[in-house]
A and B are shown apart, each in its own frame.
Chain A
Amino acid sequence: MAAPASFLFKGKFLPLVLLLPQLIITGVFFFWPAFQAVYQSFLREDAFGLSSQFVGFENFTDVLSDPTWLQSFGRTIFFSTAVAGLALSVALFLAVQADKQIRASTTFKTMLIWPYAVAPAVAAVLWLFMFHPNIGLFGRMLNAAGIPWDYKLNGDQAMLLVIIASAWKQVSYNFIFFLAGLQAIPRSVLEAAAIDGAKPMRRFWTVVFPLLSPTAFFLLVVNLTYAFFDTFGVIHSITQGGPGKATETLIYRVYTDGVMNLNLGTSAAQSVILMIMVIALTMVQFRFIERKVHY
């Protein structure tokens, strides 16, 4: 704004003091490590960790040509899509039900919202209790019914379990936003569609869903980011990436390479690749939000 500045306070020093804590923490714990990661991604340490040399993009080419990394990448895409798809569709369905004029909708809402507060790792533990092959209620039921169930041996079953446990927790979040989105749709628009002769199902897909699409898109990005990173706790507490590497996602791999195997160079290169992916996702989201603003 060009004109009056009278709602501002004078002073150059005070605002910097006010900003300082945030800037210091951001600088030390955000920019320093981020640059460190970029720097290290171009270095390689010798076997004893005594010296390191510049190796250009070698770490990147190593990572990108490593078939196990590429498998992790593909697995992450599958896992994230499944988690996002499941969490979004269940949440949308429940939100549509809760948006109908029914009694006790607040109670239902509360009952559906609280899993948001459960940590991903704890959510994983809850599902583990149910699907443990020996002590889990459903795990034992499946085995008793002749379906050999053991997520500790069967990679597909392990994947299924981490997907469900991850999606379960995220449904609440999506539910809150879908419901808010639905309630923001003016009643008159739906009434107009009804007068135009659209049946409920058709009304949903031709009127409600398009109006909800900004919310849905926003949630898609959030869910993908969640599935990429926050599900570390789920995987770590149920499968530790196993059996084999059946549930090793990219973020889990950064952890194993960097923390367990202390392979700093490739771990840093992987971090940089992940950063680029998140930045790309965020950019998409911002461009979209900008477009929404211009409506």
Chain B
Amino acid sequence: MATLNVAGVTKRFGTTQVLHGIDLDVTDGEMIVIVGASGCGKSTLLRIVAGLETATTGSIRIEERDVTALEPAERDVAMVFQNYALYPHMTVFQNMAYGLKIRGRSPEDIRRRVAEAAGMLEIQHLLERRPRQLSGGQRQRVAMGRAIVRDPKLFLFDEPLSNLDAKLRVTMRAEIKRLQRRLGVTSLFVTHDQVEAMTLGDRLVVMHQGRAAQIATPMEIWSHPADTYVAGFIGSPSMNFLPGVMEAGAVRLETGLLLPVSAPLADGHKVTLGIRPEHLLIGNGGLTLAVELLEPLGGETVVHGKLDNGTTVVAKVPTGSVPGDTLGVILPLDKLHIFDAESGLRL
């Protein structure tokens, strides 16, 4: 159990800059989820913390000890891999025991720890099997077990749920969270799945093009996204973005609608207004959508529509409330997000 400090970490592969200076401070026992689209650098960051890659610049400290130059084995971290990386020729027991054996633990100590971890994961009955005799979910548990027995300072998860089917993923997600709470081990969890991120993380790091676009709690990120990228990435369906211009302290949308949103900006400044589909209310006097597609989800229906100027707008409304070809929606002012049109940053 430990704190983790990532300071000014950059990474360059040849001429490609993959990470542009990441700072992150993780408190003891915290579960941090690093989320982003593929290629954003999230896995690289995790692997730098693990010691599998070396940072080009910057430093990593675990429990106030500078580990930047240390080998993975010397960092006292454990990792769960996307494909689990269980050794196929070893039994479950041997897989879990391997790291302890290398560290020269006594056989009794190894047996006790493996039994304990296996009990926690309910895989005691699988200890003599080999990985290929296990289901995906069982392999996942063994991979977790391998990390747990080591009793490391840090757990690192590299998209460990992405090889599981949807239902199992939900179960395992809950299980990982439960275990992490119970063991209180500081954890970094990498995923591209925003639902996974929202449900698992104490805090999220939303990464975009090698930068941490926002580091905050899931609710903070959802309610106060730092920029249009974060706003669009978190939440499903994605937030609607409407271009507008400042006019007398209010925002004039391209459709002509004037919204009295106050922002300390000069007239003529271009902005982007954001509103989540579930925050649009049915009613007249706002925007009128030409309905293109309805996706009924049961109690709610997702409406895909277009404004006069061609901007696509998605609304999530109670099922049965869409009368015909057009739908009028109102934009509640307190649910609006204003971003600078040029930089995309929240205003």
Contacts and interface: CB of A to CB of B under 8 A. Distances in A.
Contacts of B47: 4, 6
Nearest to A10: B71
B14 A4 contact: no
A286 B47 CA distance: 39
Interface in A217-248: none
A4 B46 CA distance: 13
A274 B53 CA distance: 50
A6 B43 CA distance: 12
Nearest to A3: B13
Nearest to A4: B53
Range of interface residues on chain A? Answer: under 10
A2 interface: yes
A263 B277 CA distance: 93
A3 to B, nearest CB: 5
Contacts of A6: 47, 52-53
Contacts of A4: 13, 47, 52-53
A2 B13 contact: yes
| Chain B binding surface SS class | loop
| Chain A binding surface SS class | loop
Range of interface residues on chain B? Answer: under 10
B52 A2 contact: no
Contacts of A2: 13-14
B80 to A, nearest CB: 16
A6 B11 CA distance: 14
Nearest to A7: B52
B158 to A, nearest CB: 12
Contacts of B14: 2
Nearest to B14: A2
Interface in A2-40: 2-4, 6
Contacts of B13: 2-4
A6 B158 CA distance: 15
Interface string B2-39: 00000000000110000000000000000000000000
B41 to A, nearest CB: 12
A6 B54 CA distance: 9
A4 B16 CA distance: 12
A268 B53 CA distance: 53
A9 to B, nearest CB: 10
B328 to A, nearest CB: 51
A2 B52 CA distance: 15
Contacts of B52: 4, 6
A6 B52 CA distance: 5
A2 B18 CA distance: 13
Nearest to B51: A6
10 contacts: A2-B13, A2-B14, A3-B13, A4-B13, A4-B47, A4-B52, A4-B53, A6-B47, A6-B52, A6-B53
Given A2-B13, A6-B47, 8 more contacts: A2-B14, A3-B13, A4-B13, A4-B47, A4-B52, A4-B53, A6-B52, A6-B53
Closest CB pairs A-B (n = 6): A6-B52, A3-B13, A2-B14, A6-B53, A2-B13, A6-B47
